[in-house]
C-alpha cells in the first residue's frame, strides 16, 4: 500500500508474513510506514548481522524496546555495551548461577505447593508470578524488589501490547492521544516507574543485601568515574525485570501448553524425571542428568521464541548475502522464521526434542537458532534462564500433569514478544512410576 507499505501484513499476521519472505532472496526490503527495512532470511546472513560490528543495536524493534527499558544492557549501543556488560556479567557467571539454583528451586516448590487437584490454572499468570519471585530473590533482592518484580509481571501484558502498536505505527503523537489503549499503557508504565523508584531508593539508603546484581550496578561508575545516576540504574533494573520475568515465564508457559498437546513428549519427560529424581525435588547437581528436559525446552524455544524479531542498524554500507545494505539502514532478523526453515529443521512445525540430541545437532541448526541473539550481544542470562526453567519444569512435572480444559488450540500471540494464546490447564496430581524410581539415582 502507498506509504504504509507492508504494515497491513505485519498487523494482520506478522509471523506468517515474515516466514513467507524466506521464499525470496536472503535479504528482502520491505516498507513499514515510510521506513525501508531489510529482512534477513538466511541463517548465515543473519549470523553476519548479529555478529559483525558493522551492525549496532537499533532499528524498529530496539527503538521501541527503549520506550520501556531505556538504555539498559539489552538495548544500548555497542559502545555503551562495552562498559555495561562487564558490570552485569559476574551476576550471571556459572558459579553464581549455581548459588542461585536453590532459590530457584525453592520458588518453584512454593509456586506448585499452592496448586489444588482439579484446579483450572491460568498458566501464563502463574509463570509470570514464579519468574518474578526468582528475579526478586536473586538479582534484585532489596525488600522493594519483590513488589517491583510483581508490578512488572502484572504490567507486562499491557506494556507489550502497547509496544507492539508503537513498533508498527511509530508516530509519537498517535500514542499520546487520550485513547483507552494509550491510557492503559501509560498507567502501567507509571506504576512500574514508581515501583522501580522505591527499589533504587532502598539501595541508595543501604537497605539492600549488597551481593546481588543490582548492588553491582549501583557500585559501578560511568566513563568519567562518577557513580551511575538514578536514570542509568533505572534502565538496568527495568532491563533485568523485563528479561528475567517475561522470557522465562513465556518459555515455561509455552512448554506446559505444548506438553498438554503432546503426551508422547510428556511421557518421555516423566520417564527421565522418575528415573533420575525418584520423586525428589530437583537440585542444580541434577541438571546434567536431565538432558531430555533441556531438549524439550530448547525445542519449545525453537518453535516459539519469546523474542520473535530482532533489529539492528547498519553503521556503514555493507554487503549481506550479495545484497548491498546502505549506511543507516534498519535490518530485521526473525528467530521465529529462521528456526522454522525446513531446509535446516526438517518437518519444522513438529515438536521434536530429539533434534537436539548431541549427535543430531548440525552447524546449520546452531547458526539458525537465534532465540538468545548472537555474537557479543548474545543474551547474558542464557545460562541463568535455562537453569531456572529446567528446575521449574522438573519441579512442576515431577508433581503435576496439566491437561487442557477445553479444545482451544495453542496459538502464538505476537505482541512485542511472542506469548501463548490458549485456554486454562487443569492440574492433576501425579506420582513417580515405580519402574522409574527403581532405576533412579537412589541406586547410583
**CATH number (domain holding residue 414):** 1.10.630.10
Does the structure show a pLDDT above 60 at 348? yes
Q: What percent of the chain has pLDDT over 70?
A: 95
Number of domains within the chain: 1
pLDDT per residue over 232-263, tens digit each? 889 988 898 888 898 999 999 999 999 999 99
> What is the C-alpha to C-alpha distance for residues 19 and 196, in angstroms, rounded to an integer?
38
Domain that holds residue 45: 7-443
Does the structure show a pLDDT above 50 at 34? yes
- Residue 252 has a pLDDT of 97
Does the structure show a pLDDT above 90 at 314? yes
- Please indicate whether residue 321 or residue 217 has the higher confidence score (pLDDT): 321
- Please indicate whether residue 141 or residue 168 has the higher confidence score (pLDDT): 141
Of 122-131, 246-255, 329-338, 427-436, the poorest mean pLDDT is in: 427-436
- Whether 2 maps to a domain, the answer reads no
- Residue 62 has a pLDDT of 86
- Please indicate whether residue 321 or residue 374 has the higher confidence score (pLDDT): 321
pTM: 0.91
Cα–Cα–Cα angle for 38, 43, 47, nearest 5°? Answer: 80
- Residue 2 has a pLDDT of 67
Cα–Cα–Cα angle for 376, 291, 417, nearest 5°? Answer: 45
Three-class SS state of 121: strand
- Residue 176 has a pLDDT of 84
pLDDT per residue over 261-279, tens digit each? 999 999 999 999 999 999 9
- Whether 94 maps to a domain, the answer reads yes
Lookup: cell for 226: 562518577
Of 69-78, 317-326, 395-404, the poorest mean pLDDT is in: 69-78
- Residue 82 has a pLDDT of 87
- Residue 435 has a pLDDT of 56
Cα dihedral across residues 21, 24, 28, 30: positive or negative:
negative
**DSSP-assigned states of every residue in 293-360:** HHHHHHHHHHHS-SS--EEEEESS-EEETTEEEPTT-EEEE-HHHHTT-TTTSSSTTS--GGGGSTTT
- Residue 303 has a pLDDT of 97
> What is the C-alpha to C-alpha distance for residues 301 and 336, in angstroms, rounded to an integer?
9
pLDDT per residue over 176-223, tens digit each? 888 898 999 999 999 999 999 998 998 888 776 677 888 888 887 766
**What rounded mean pLDDT belongs to the chain?**
89
- Whether 294 maps to a domain, the answer reads yes
Q: For residue 16, what pLDDT band results from cuts at 50, 70 and 90?
A: very high
- Whether 242 maps to a domain, the answer reads yes
> What is the C-alpha to C-alpha distance for residues 232 and 219, in angstroms, rounded to an integer?
12
- Residue 439 has a pLDDT of 41
- Residue 437 has a pLDDT of 53
- Dihedrals phi, psi of 194, to nearest 5 degrees: -65, -45
- Please indicate whether residue 72 or residue 5 has the higher confidence score (pLDDT): 72
> What is the C-alpha to C-alpha distance for residues 38 and 326, in angstroms, rounded to an integer?
10
Q: Which residues does 295 contact at the CB level (< 8 Å), separation at least 6?
A: 353, 354, 355, 356, 357
- Residue 443 has a pLDDT of 35
Amino acid at each position: 500500500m502507498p506509504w504504509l507499505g507492508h504494515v497491513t501484513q505485519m498487523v494482520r499476521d506478522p509471523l506468517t508474513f515474515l516466514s513467507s519472505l524466506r521464499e525470496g532472496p536472503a535479504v528482502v526490503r520491505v516498507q513499514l510506514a515510510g521506513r525501508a527495512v531489510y529482512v534477513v532470511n538466511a541463517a548465515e546472513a543473519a549470523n553476519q548481522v548479529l555478529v559483525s560490528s558493522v551492525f549496532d543495536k537499533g532499528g524498529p524493534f530496539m527503538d521501541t524496546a527503549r520506550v520501556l527499558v531505556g538504555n539498559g544492557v539489552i538495548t544500548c549501543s555497542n559502545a555503551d555495551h562495552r562498559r555495561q556488560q562487564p558490570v552485569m556479567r559476574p551476576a550471571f557467571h556459572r558459579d553464581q548461577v549455581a548459588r542461585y539454583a536453590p532459590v530457584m528451586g525453592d520458588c518453584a516448590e512454593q509456586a506448585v505447593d499452592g496448586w489444588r487437584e482439579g484446579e483450572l490454572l491460568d498458566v501464563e499468570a502463574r509463570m509470570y508470578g514464579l519468574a518474578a519471585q526468582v528475579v526478586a530473590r536473586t538479582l534484585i533482592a532489596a525488600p522493594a524488589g519483590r513488589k517491583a518484580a510483581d508490578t512488572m509481571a502484572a504490567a507486562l501484558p499491557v506494556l507489550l501490547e502497547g509496544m507492539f502498536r508503537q513498533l508498527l505505527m511509530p508516530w509519537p503523537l498517535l500514542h499520546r492521544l487520550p485513547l483507552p489503549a494509550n491510557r492503559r499503557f501509560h498507567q502501567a508504565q507509571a506504576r512500574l516507574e514508581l515501583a522501580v523508584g522505591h527499589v533504587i531508593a532502598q539501595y541508595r539508603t543501604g537497605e539492600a543485601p549488597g551481593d546481588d546484581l543490582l548492588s553491582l550496578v549501583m557500585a559501578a561508575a560511568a566513563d568519567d568515574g562518577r557513580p551511575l545516576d538514578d536514570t542509568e540504574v533505572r534502565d538496568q533494573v527495568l532491563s533485568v525485570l523485563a528479561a528475567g520475568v517475561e522470557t522465562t515465564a513465556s518459555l515455561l508457559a509455552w512448554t506446559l501448553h505444548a506438553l498438554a498437546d503432546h503426551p508422547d513428549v510428556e511421557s518421555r519427560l516423566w520417564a527421565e524425571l522418575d528415573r533420575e529424581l525418584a520423586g525428589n525435588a530437583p537440585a542444580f547437581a541434577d541438571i546434567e542428568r536431565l538432558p531430555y528436559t533441556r531438549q524439550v525446552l530448547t525445542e519449545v524455544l525453537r518453535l516459539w521464541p519469546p523474542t520473535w524479531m530482532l533489529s539492528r542498524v547498519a553503521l556503514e554500507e555493507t554487503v549481506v548475502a550479495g545484497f548491498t545494505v546502505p549506511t543507516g539502514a534498519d535490518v530485521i532478523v526473525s528467530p521465529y522464521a529462521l528456526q522454522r526453515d525446513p531446509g535446516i529443521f526438517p518437518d519444522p512445525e513438529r515438536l521434536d526434542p530429539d533434534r537436539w540430541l548431541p549427535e543430531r545437532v548440525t552447524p546449520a541448526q546452531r547458526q539458525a537458532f537465534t532465540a538468545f541473539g548472537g555474537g557479543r550481544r548474545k543474551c547474558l542470562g542464557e545460562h541463568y534462564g535455562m537453569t531456572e526453567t529446567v528446575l521449574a519444569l522438573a519441579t512442576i512435572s515431577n508433581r503435576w500433569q496439566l491437561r487442557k480444559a477445553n479444545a482451544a488450540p495453542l496459538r502464538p500471540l505476537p505482541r512485542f514478544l511472542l506469548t501463548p494464546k490458549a485456554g486454562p490447564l487443569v492440574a492433576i496430581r501425579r506420582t513417580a512410576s515405580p519402574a522409574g524410581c527403581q532405576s533412579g539415582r537412589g541406586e547410583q
